[in-house]
Amino acid sequence: MSQSDSYYRQILAILRCIILGREVWLYGSRANGSSYEASDVDLVSFPEERGNDEPLRTGRGDELDLQLQLKAAFQESHIPLFVDILSWMVIPESFHQS
């Protein structure tokens, strides 16, 4: 296992502990293969899916709290990569089109 694989496993472990089954996408240079050793890890998380008649459990404030928890967890980890995670609910609409 490479060092990068070890970092990715640690990132996944943090995500699994905090976001519990949400969909998360990798984007940016690490997703398109143009990254270099010091590139950050860009992630976006999506709110939980619910049935059509059932509202989402989380609101905008909850999403911000979740982001703060994740940022703190990544900063406290021993992963030597900057992990930037955004929530689909709080990013600008223009990003949704990308």
Reported confidence tier of residue 87, pLDDT bands at 50, 70, 90: confident
With 0-12 / 13-18 / 19 or more C-beta atoms within 10 angstroms meaning exposed / middle / buried, residue 8 is middle
- pLDDT, residue 64, reads 80
The string of pLDDT tens digits covering residues 7-64 is: 999 999 999 999 877 899 999 999 999 999 889 999 999 887 644 444 444 455 677 8
90/77: higher pLDDT? 77
Domain ranges (residues) in the chain: 3-96
Whose tokens are 């070890």? That residue is 6
| pTM score of the predicted model | 0.78
- pLDDT, residue 37, reads 86
Domain 3-96 has CATH 3.30.460.10: yes
Evaluate if residue 72 carries a pLDDT over 70.
Answer: yes
- pLDDT, residue 1, reads 61
- Is residue 8 within 8 A of residue 26, CB to CB? The reply is no
The tally of CA atoms less than 13 A away on the side-chain side of residue 33 is 0
Reported confidence tier of residue 4, pLDDT bands at 50, 70, 90: confident
